[in-house]
Amino acid sequence: MAKPVDRVCLCWQRRGREKIDRQAIAVAMSVAMASPQPLLLRHLAKVAITFGIFLLLSPVSITSADDDISHHGSAPKSPSCDNTLRLVKVKIWVDGAESSVLGGLTARFGGSLPTEAKDGARFPAVFTNPSNCCSNSSSKLSGFIALSIRGDCDFMTKAEFAESGGAAGLLVINDGEELLEMSCREDHVSNITIPIVMISKSGGGAIEKFMTSSKKVELLLYSPNRPIVDFSVVFLWLMAVGTIVCASLWSEFTGSKKNDERYNELSPKESSNAGTVQDDAEDEVVDISAKSAIVFVISASTFLVLLYLFMSSWFVWLLIVLFCIGGIEGMHSCIVALILRKWRNSGDKKVNLPLLGEISVLSIVVLLFCLVFSIVWAAKRKESYSWVGQDILGVCLMITILQLARLPNIKVATVLLCCAFIYDIFWVFLSPLIFHDSVMIAVARGDNSGGESIPMLLRVPRTFDPWGGYDMIGFGDILFPGLLVSFAFRYDKANKKGVLNGYFLWLTIGYGFGLFFTYLGLYLMDGHGQPALLYLVPCTLGNYLYFRFAVILGAARRELKHLWNYGEESSQSKENAAEA
């Protein structure tokens, strides 16, 4: 009977392990699953692998949550039409009382705005007549901030008519919720001196609602500076690197020396039972094959396009449900493993349940806790503090996936990461040539998702940014390099390498630098979403198709051939022995 993981579109190749790896797996898995467990719960681990594949198919680019700006790289530019795009705060007063603050975006042309609210001036607001501001306005604009709807003529024409009428500024109300880059006409020199700002459709509707109630509405425009580095970036960097390190060392941390001693001192009868547990544990661990990488690119691209074309609130809800299922399994495995490491006998008490069979009380209690935790997160996912629960579920899930899915050698790592490298760059930078939009960034933003956001991200709020929002990193940006770093740790351990003459430390440092370069690129690109694997793969696997750390270091030590085909010889000999 085919196992659940065999029905996944990616092709996985099971391989044998050397004794030292099998022993570690047996101990770690028996601890994590509170062995013995019923078959149903053991197969939940495979559900985590399957869901992990869905995560690998999800957007993996770092982006900024609330910077919903549409860029047009082909927009005409000139020395008078090359202003830096800046986010704008629009403070509203209604009948003299401060009401609310809207967000906006400056144009490529026009005057500048103060960076502090105290340096700005309040002006009454008025709608132009006609409302599109494509001709001289019959309503008085002098000393007012004019409001115009988008459309019927270009942005410069609107600005020229508003300035000629004496307006102190122009707010262009978009026909959607995004903030569009407003640029000049081709081969045109801009002489506009008033500030031009675009606001969203809902923002314009809020101002119009106040004005139609015969209330006096006053506006103040200013554009505060953003910090070069926010604390959230540092915290996110620590979380990403820490997740990979924890996943690599997890079996060492949860498998205590006492458990290893007990494993070695088993009687022949107990040895037989232990072998069964060991085989079950080994069956839960899968090695990714080289063919999987090719299938991945096709599957991932198909899934991403489907998300882009059919994105809706129900589609995102489906992903949220899958995320909760995977998060429950990951959190359950991590908590049980940590508890049993401290109190080894706490999983001995068991009960018989219908359908489930014999199961430990500890596992039931932890499972219920994880279930409640994920339900509360899903119910409160739009609250300001929901990022904490999302990150906890995500980190636990990724640690579990990296225990179950493994790279057998550098050859497979090369194929997988190079394919992911091309996939990431194409869907961020090259997809606009086909779809007229960056598919990866559009999906990550949650366009047409009804206000819902995809949960397969670690995110941290920008603490010191006046605009708020979140810095985030996709699970794939951690899982892909994490597979390579985890392999390096297992290789170092199996070959008795020290910290400095091994590969684990240097690949971890490489990942940290790659993540740093990713955020540097994000800053230099004015917050435009970046394909993180563009920086992470060269810093871990190598410089594009050549290795910088793994291969150059391995070649220097004359270990490249061993790294390249590691595990294949032992696997082949075991298969021959089994056939004999």
Q: List the catalytic residues.
A: 424, 477
- CA distances for 559 relative to 57, 222, 412, 503, angstroms: 33, 60, 16, 11
Q: How far apart are CA 518 and CA 515, in angstroms?
A: 5
C-alpha 555/C-alpha 546 separation (Å) is 12
Using the Cα atoms of residue 530, residue 533, residue 534 and residue 539 in order, give the sign of their dihedral.
Answer: positive
* Closest to 478 (Cα-Cα) out of 544, 420, 549: 420
SS3 387: helix
C-alpha triplet 218, 219, 220: angle, nearest 5°: 135
In DSSP notation, 155-199 reads: HHHHHHHHHHTT-SEEEEEPSSSSEEPP-PPTT------S-EEEE
State how far Cα 458 lies from the chain centre: 6
**b/e for 547-564, b at 16 or more Cβ within 10 A?**
bbbbbebbeeeebbeebb
CB 146 within 8 A of CB 162: yes
Take residue 217 and report the two structure tokens written for it: 């509405």
Beta bridge partners of 102: 90
Q: DSSP letter for 448, please.
A: T
Residue with tokens 């990296």, as numbered in its chain: 402
Task: Work out the end-to-end distance of the chain between its first and last CA atoms, rounded to an integer number of angstroms.
Answer: 24
Residue 279 dihedral angles phi and psi, to the nearest 5°: -65, -40
